[in-house]
């Protein structure tokens, strides 16, 4: 039996490559100075979905919510083998916390009526791991968090192995289901050269509109029509298309607010330099014994 899989993915700043320039004076992050990447564990989720499709047949749709630039990870999804991709972009999504984000995403997922929803365990910018379970709750479906492996799928049920920190569990549940996938689940494939050539010109409407602002000779409607004929127009949804209740979106739908942001500067109260000689080290050990740190 074939499965309709939906993958939720996020474009994130590459927090691993944070440098001095990426931090503003006031301690906030200058997102513009950081490269934007496909959230790593979302790639593991996509890989799991593609493997389901290869083994059982079906379809993989990738949804992302974000700024127009997030269309880039949708193109990358197409290069890797996704059948369909959707960008949710709407100014009214801004300032959404995990609760509001999960509401908006759940509206989109519901429209696609999937058997399996997959997302990465967590995004590297927020590290909350909350959106997956919150989408599952809103859809009223079971969740399997920290999924490491799908053991079997038989039309109605899924059996999977999940990590529980200091061990693992094998669990079975009915479809539809939401899985959050960890980085040890698989090795995400690299983009396929043929698909890259085919989809590199895929665009969504808002990207064409931005191009038209630079170059007024571009006829947005005409370009979109051409792309659509070639199967290269990326679907773009806003909150109206989703039928979302604005009360649960953006700032209004977000109970958590930021009170303060500080950059991390850690310094010791007093530092002693100790020469790498036997006498100096003996003196240090003596000091630590006297103040009852050791012994």
Partner 1 sequence: MIEVNKQGEVWVFAEQHAGTLEDTSIELLSKGRQLADQLKVPLAAVLLGDRVEPLCVRLGQYGADKVYLAEHPLLNHYQTSSYAKVLDELIHKHKPQIMLYGATPVGRDLAPRVASALKAGLTADCTDLQIGRHEIPSTGKVYENLLLQIRPAFGGNIIATIINYDRWPQMATVREGVMPMPEPDGRRKAQIVRENISLLPDDLMLEILAEHRQPKKVNLKASRIIVAGGAGVGSKENFKLIWDLAHCLGGAPAATRAAVDLGFIDRDHQVGQTGTTVRPVLYIAVGISGAIQHQAGMSGSQKIIAINNDPEAPIFQIAHYKILGDLNQVVPMMIKAIREKV
Ligand X SMILES: Cc1cc2nc3c(=O)[nH]c(=O)nc-3n(C[C@H](O)[C@H](O)[C@H](O)COP(=O)(O)OP(=O)(O)OC[C@H]3O[C@@H](n4cnc5c(N)ncnc54)[C@H](O)[C@@H]3O)c2cc1C
Q: At what angle do helices 71-80 and 40-56 cross, to 10 degrees?
A: 40
The smaller minimum CB distance to partner 1, of residues 13 and 120, is found at 13
The smaller minimum CB distance to ligand X, of residues 184 and 201, is found at 184
Other Cβ atoms less than 10 A from the Cβ of 39: the count is 25
The smaller minimum CB distance to partner 1, of residues 215 and 279, is found at 279
Interactions with ligand X, residue window 61-100 (CB under 6 A) = none
Cα distance between residue 101 and residue 244, in whole Å? 11
Residue number of the CB closest to ligand X reads 16
- 188's CB contacts (< 8 A; 6+ apart) are 43, 44, 46, 47, 80
In the complex, the smallest distance separating the C-beta of residue 212 from partner 1, rounded to whole angstroms, is: 34
H/E stretch holding 155 reads: none
By CB under 6 A, tell whether 16 contacts ligand X. Answer: yes
By CB under 6 A, tell whether 17 contacts ligand X. Answer: no
In the complex, the smallest distance separating the C-beta of residue 40 from ligand X, rounded to whole angstroms, is: 9
Q: Among ligand X, partner 1, none, what does residue 51 contact (CB within 5–8 Å per kind)?
A: none
Q: Among partner 1, ligand X, none, what does residue 99 contact (CB within 5–8 Å per kind)?
A: partner 1
Interactions with ligand X, residue window 100-129 (CB under 6 A) = 124
The smaller minimum CB distance to ligand X, of residues 124 and 210, is found at 124
Q: Among ligand X, partner 1, none, what does residue 188 contact (CB within 5–8 Å per kind)?
A: none
By CB under 6 A, tell whether 31 contacts ligand X. Answer: no
Q: Among partner 1, ligand X, none, what does residue 230 contact (CB within 5–8 Å per kind)?
A: none
List the one residue out of 5, 46, 52, 4 whose CA is nearest residue 188: 46
Other Cβ atoms less than 10 A from the Cβ of 130: the count is 16
Site size toward ligand X (CB under 6 A) is 2
- The per-residue b/e assignment along 42-67, b for 16 or more CB within 10 angstroms, e otherwise, is bbbbbbbbbbbbeeeebbbbbbbbbe
Cα distance between residue 247 and residue 33, in whole Å? 33
Cα distance between residue 122 and residue 40, in whole Å? 9
Phi and psi torsions of 80, nearest 5° = -85, -15
List the one residue out of 136, 135, 132 whose CA is nearest residue 181: 132
The smaller minimum CB distance to partner 1, of residues 113 and 166, is found at 166
Interactions with ligand X, residue window 124-153 (CB under 6 A) = 124
The smaller minimum CB distance to ligand X, of residues 69 and 124, is found at 124
List of residues contacting ligand X (CB under 6 A): 16, 124
């Amino acid at each position: 039996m074939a499965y309709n899989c939906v993958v939720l993915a996020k474009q994130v700043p590459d927090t691993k490559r944070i440098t001095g320039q990426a931090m503003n004076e006031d301690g906030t992050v200058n997102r513009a100075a950081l490269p934007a990447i496909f959230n790593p564990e979302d790639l593991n989720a996509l890989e799991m979905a593609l493997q389901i499709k290869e083994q059982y047949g079906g379809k993989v749709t990738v949804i992302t919510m974000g700024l127009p630039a997030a269309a880039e990870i949708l193109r990358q999804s197409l290069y890797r083998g996704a059948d369909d991709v959707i960008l949710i972009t709407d100014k009214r999504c801004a300032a959404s916390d995990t609760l509001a984000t999960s509401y908006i995403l759940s509206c989109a997922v519901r429209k696609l009526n999937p058997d399996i929803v997959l997302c990465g365990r967590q995004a590297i910018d927020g590290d909350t791991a909350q959106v997956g379970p919150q989408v599952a709750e809103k859809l009223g479906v079971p969740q399997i968090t920290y999924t490491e492996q799908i053991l079997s799928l038989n039309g109605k049920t899924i059996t999977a192995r999940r990590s529980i920190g200091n061990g693992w569990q094998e669990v079975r549940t009915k479809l539809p289901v939401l899985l959050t996938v960890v980085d040890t689940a698989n090795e995400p494939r690299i983009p396929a050269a043929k698909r890259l050539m085919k989809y590199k010109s895929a665009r969504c409407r808002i990207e064409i509109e931005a191009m038209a602002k630079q170059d007024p000779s571009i006829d947005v409607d005409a370009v979109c029509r051409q792309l659509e004929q070639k199967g290269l127009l990326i679907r773009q949804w806003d909150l109206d298309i989703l039928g979302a209740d604005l009360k649960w979106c953006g700032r209004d739908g977000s109970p958590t607010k930021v009170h303060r942001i500080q950059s991390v500067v850690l310094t010791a109260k007093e530092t002693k330099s100790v020469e790498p000689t036997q006498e100096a080290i003996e003196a240090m050990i003596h000091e630590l014994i006297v103040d009852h740190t050791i012994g």
